[in-house]
Structure 1
Amino acid sequence: MKQGLKIVTIGGGSSYTPELIEGFIKRYEELPVSELWLVDIEAGKEKLEIVGNLAKRMVEKAGLPIEIHLSMDRREALKNADFVTTQFRVGLLDARAKDERIPLKYGVIGQETNGPGGLFKGLRTIPVILGICKDMEELCPDAWLVNFTNPAGMVTEAVLRYSNIKKVVGLCNVPIGMRMGMAKALGVEADRVQVNFAGLNHMVFGLDVMLDGVSVKQKVIDSMADPDNAMSMKNIAGLSWDPDFIKGLGVIPCGYHRYYYKTSEMLQEELDAANEKGTRAEVVKKLENELFELYKDPNLDIKPPQLEKRGGAYYSDAACSLINSIYNDKRDIQPVNTRNNGAIASIPDDSAVEVNCVITKEGPKPISVGDLPVAVRGLVQQIKSFERVAAEAAVTGDYQTALVAMTINPLVPSDTIAKQILDEMLEAHKEHLPQFFTEIHA
């Protein structure tokens, strides 16, 4: 009988990894991790070693028997894993900078997971994730895949549709961030607040908010209508909502909804920021360099507080809580990306949605919400169509499918502009998109 759990983290050299280590240390009594494999690619070797050494110091400080392995060999790492977490970025931050900068030239929002940038992140990421799934089928067929790699909804959609992996959950820190923001606005501890989440990744709504079991949704909406209280995130400009709009909407949007409901203002904000301080990727590059300088310090043996500036606050809590709840069959409620199975009436049953689920040892069981309110239903369906077509384009490498995906995204104003952006971005990302450039001979 195997002792302890083997967890493999692909993209182990990420600046977020110390959050994950902290989460496993905190839960060790319930979640006996014996091996943690941090895996990366050659280009990430230096960062992997820096983060890996910090991870070892953190575990040593905690006095726990968790073995940390650093590896560039994914297949070696995956053998007999119990959980596989993915947190990688194909093309690194340079690719993200292109995703953000190129659309701006055409007067279109350039953003990591929305619009043309989200499409291209998906096109680069999905073939890699499906390769990991193939390895898992062979080397750890019973393992759970917990994906944090963005765009998490589209990636989960692709795994559900194009791989044989059934044990997959997509995860995002946006719902936790929203709940924390609501608790802060209400002036109460976060564990007293429960939010009924439903929608898609980066397109999730709070349908209701409970404080000690009593609905306080209206109070939260009133708070959001206050321009001094615009709940936002580190990586999204906190432009305040129009009070009449937010009250009329009747549900609580996430920070990313600003791209859809405040498109022209967000575009202007991005253009100004790109000229003054660089795109978000360029800002993050500086932040990452500072973090890795901190991580190098041989005396550092905790997760440094500066990591929260990176936009990933609460992410380890989300990840470790999910793994803990699956392993221990906790049956608590968490918002995750999973197969819809009828939970949201206006989305196909076999599609990925982000919704509250009861987390069991068999995985997430989505909680039915019925239909989404009519005011938000159409936008959610449109983004789901975009994700589906984008995933198909990523798998097939078909140019016309990619053009349709780009054009049906609500942030892209016409097929002509879509084609111009698509052509420039395909060229810019050529080395990471072999499926579009390899001739297939029968």
Structure 2
Amino acid sequence: MSFKIAIIGAGSVGFTKKLFTDILCVPEFKDIEFALTDISEHNLGMIKAILDRIVEANGLPTRVTATTARRKAIEGARYIISCVRVGGLEAYADDIRIPLKYGIDQCVGDTICAGGILYGQRNIPVILDFCRDIREVAETNAKFLNYANPMAMNTWAAIEYGKVDTVGLRHGVQHGAEQIAVVLGAKSPRELDYVCSGINHQTWFIELRLNGREIGKDELIAAFEAHPVYSRQEKLRIDVLRRFGVYSTESNGHLSEYLPWYRKRPDEITRWIDMSDWIHGETGGYLRYSTETRNWFETEYPQFLEAASKPIDPQKRSNEHASHILEALETNRVYRGHFNVKNNGVVTNLPPDAIVESPGFVDRFGINMAAGITLPEACAATCMASVNVQRMSVHAAISGDIDLLKLAVLHDPLVGAVSTPEEVWQMVDEMVVAQAQWLPQYAHAVPAAKERLSKSLVKTSEWAGAARRNVRSIEELRAEKAALKQTG
């Protein structure tokens, strides 16, 4: 087989390498072309050198090109994969810093809440540019695989306004299933069968079977509470399981910022999170982790390049969906997974225009979703609150309507639990002004926002958050890795 895959945002070096090696685990794909594109020539050079080393070490005819000219990369591509973060860590820092001034403490801030909504405003205009290029220069009927957050908003915009065949892909379902398999004592995650449905980052394990035996709520709660690690790292998720009756796919920290109950007061935040790793609820945890990872990669790049000389091991192929979807579409080897698509009856008690994450299978005919799934009422109610925010956020990003953007932020569950309308109006003005270079659709609104900020009477505070940690230096990271290696 010979076809072209374009990866936009390929400067996300570690993730690009994972997708690349996964795809090359499919024997039929050795003759394909990967076209890498990014706005950073520096990052492109690093990832191309790594991928070229992999190709050379494995004696493959695979072609790898790299260019900052996105349209050139997309030209003739059958599959386009996006893993972009518009504004990079600079804009992301504002997604965390500015809401903290108004008492809004986020762990990640990339899906909804104040940070996720502004992230969507930056991404959506660029997503539509991608879609235009795909329509105009990609292979006919090309498929767009979106890995970038905010998943639902990006995918919604690409389908509804970009008019491109799009599927959104994340890995929360796989990771949640691995946890459940562990606490139930399974020898392998393959022993666990499940139906998981909802919206991205609020997906719910509504049916569970271990080796064919149905697993009920009480057994699952007992298993999590008895686990020596998860019982302290996933306190919030276990509490939601106890109250809702089903387990959420999303990490303790992520889930905490989509709900109005657990992060609205500093003392409540520290009660429900765990500081052993950022993902369990640390304030701005993913921002710290991303910053450290970037610094580590830059410093330790020679080691990453050396590691690329190892043979590809198909047994170590990851559970990221992309390679499995491409394999099913091209070879007709059927693949079952959980995909983000427009609802249209897939989930009966969510709106038809919502982007849902739900089970489907892939073969040569495409992605085929299992329709008619009904969520438990509490799960549907929680998802609906986010869907309404997502819809308003997408429409605001398309129209450049700053008043609609403010209403979207106002209706966010956690923002609404913490902030007054006056605070939300000022916070959005402040975020739009701070991020104006990445928000072209709001250029007309920036002068008035600056004027309002100059006269504002809303008080703010320079708050680091309830559970903030400093970015670790390279020396600290090396010492920590050495200590972990010694302890095994």
The reply on whether 1:283 has 2:289 as its aligned counterpart is yes
| Alpha-carbon shift at residue 369 of structure 1 (Å) | 4.6
Say whether the 8 Å CA contact 1:197–1:355 is kept in structure 2. Answer: yes
Partner of residue 406 from structure 2, selected from 383, 397, 403: 403
Counterpart in the other structure of 1:192: 191
Alignment check: 8 A CA contact 1:334 1:357 kept:
yes
* Structure 1 stretch displaced more, 172-181 or 385-394: 172-181
> Equivalents in 1 of 2:117, 2:434: separation in Å?
14
Unaligned 5+ segments in structure 1 are 233-237, 305-312
Partner of 1:241: 236
Change (3 A) 1:6 1:265: farther
Q: CA–CA distance in 1 between the matches of 2:52 and 2:353? A: 41
Q: CA deviation at 1:374?
A: 1.1
Give the corresponding residue for 1:8.
6
Please point out which of 286, 296, 308 is paired with 1:301. Answer: 308
Aligned to 2:262: 262
Residue number in structure 2 paired with 1:430: 436
In 2: Cα distance, 1:294 partner to 1:60 partner: 21
323-332 or 404-413, larger mean C-alpha shift:
323-332
Provide closer, same or farther for how the CA distance between residues 231 and 77 of structure 1 changes in structure 2, counting only shifts above 3 A.
farther
Q: CA RMSD in A?
A: 2.8
Whether the 8 Å CA contact 1:18–1:303 is kept in 2: the answer is no
Letter in 2 for 1:36: F
- In structure 2, relative to structure 1, the CA distance for the partners of 1:426 and 1:330 (3 Å cut) is same
Unpaired segments ≥5 residues, structure 2? 446-488
User: How many residues are matched?
Assistant: 419
Structure 2 residue 228 is matched with structure 1 residue 228: yes
Cα drift, residue 277 of structure 1: 9.2
Q: Shift in Å at residue 135 of structure 1?
A: 0.6
Match of 2:44 in 1: 48
Q: Percent identity?
A: 26
**1:24·1:33 contact (CA, 8 Å) conserved in 2?**
no
1: CA distance, partners of 2:175 / 2:47: 25
Mean Cα displacement is larger for which, 132-141 or 251-260?
251-260
Q: Distance in 2 between matches of 1:80 and 1:383?
A: 36
Q: Give the C-alpha shift of residue 206 in structure 1.
A: 1.0
Alignment of 1:7-406 (within 5 A): 7-15=5-13, 16-27=15-26, 29-41=27-39, 44-110=40-106, 111-140=109-138, 141-165=140-164, 167-187=165-185, 188-218=187-217, 219-226=219-226, 228-230=228-230, 238-241=233-236, 245-253=240-248, 254-255=250-251, 256-259=254-257, 260=259, 261-264=261-264, 268-269=269-270, 279-297=285-303, 298-301=305-308, 317-406=320-409
- Secondary structure of the equivalent of 1:293? helix
SS of the equivalent of 2:203 reads strand
1:378, CA displacement in angstroms? 1.1
Q: Is the 8 A contact 1:340 1:347 kept in 2?
A: yes
**Cα deviation per residue 1:269-324 (whole Å; 9 max; x = unaligned)?**
59x98xx99753133212222123333344231699xxxxxxxx997632212222
Letter of the aligned partner of 2:437 in structure 1?
Answer: E
- The superposition leaves residues 82-112 of structure 1 with CA deviations (integer Å, 9 ceiling, x where unpaired) of 1000001101111111111211111113322
Hey, what's the Cα distance between the residues in 2 that align with 1:405 and 1:293?
40
Partner of 2:422: 416
Q: Once the two structures are superposed, what CA deviation does each residue of 1:320-366 show, in whole Å capped at 9, x if it has no partner? A: 12222232333332001012120111122232111111223343222
The residue that corresponds to 2:471 in the other structure is none
Cα 1:179–1:239, aligned 2, differ >3 Å: closer, same or farther? closer
Task: Give the direction of change, closer, same or farther, for the CA distance of 1:365–1:222 in structure 2 (3 Å limit).
Answer: farther
Contact 1:9 1:36 in 2 (8 A): yes
Question: How far is the alpha carbon of 1:163 from its aligned partner?
Answer: 1.8
Cα offset, 1:9, TM superposition: 0.2
The 8 Å contact of residues 6 and 36 in structure 2, kept in 1 or not, is answered as yes
Q: Secondary structure at the match of 2:29?
A: coil
Q: Which residue of 2 aligns with 1:235?
A: none
- In the alignment, the residues of structure 2 paired with residue 62 and residue 288 of structure 1 have an alpha-carbon distance, to the nearest angstrom, of 27
How far has the Cα of 1:32 moved from its partner? Answer: 4.3
Deviation at 1:430, TM superposition (A): 0.6
Rounded Cα–Cα distance in structure 1 between residues aligned with 2:317 and 2:89: 22
Deviation for aligned residue 1:7: 0.5
Residue by residue over 1:210-248, the C-alpha shift from the partner in whole angstroms, topping out at 9 and shown as x without a partner, is 22333224433332344734389xxxxx35138665233
Q: What is the alpha-carbon distance in structure 2 between the residues aligned to residue 211 and residue 92 of structure 1?
A: 41
Change (3 A) 1:371 1:142: same
Distance 1:217 1:303 in 2: 44
1:198 deviates by 0.6
Distance 1:132 1:374, change over 3 A: same
Q: TM-score, normalised by structure 2?
A: 0.79
Q: CA deviation at 1:128?
A: 0.4
Question: What is the alpha-carbon distance in structure 2 between the residues aligned to residue 316 and residue 99 of structure 1?
Answer: 30
Residues 346-403 of structure 1: CA deviation (Å, up to 9, x unaligned)? 1222321111112233432221353211122111111111111100011111011101
1:50/1:296 contact within 8 Å kept:
no
SS in 2 for 1:176: helix
Q: Quick check: 2:21–2:317 contact (8 Å CA) kept in 1?
A: no
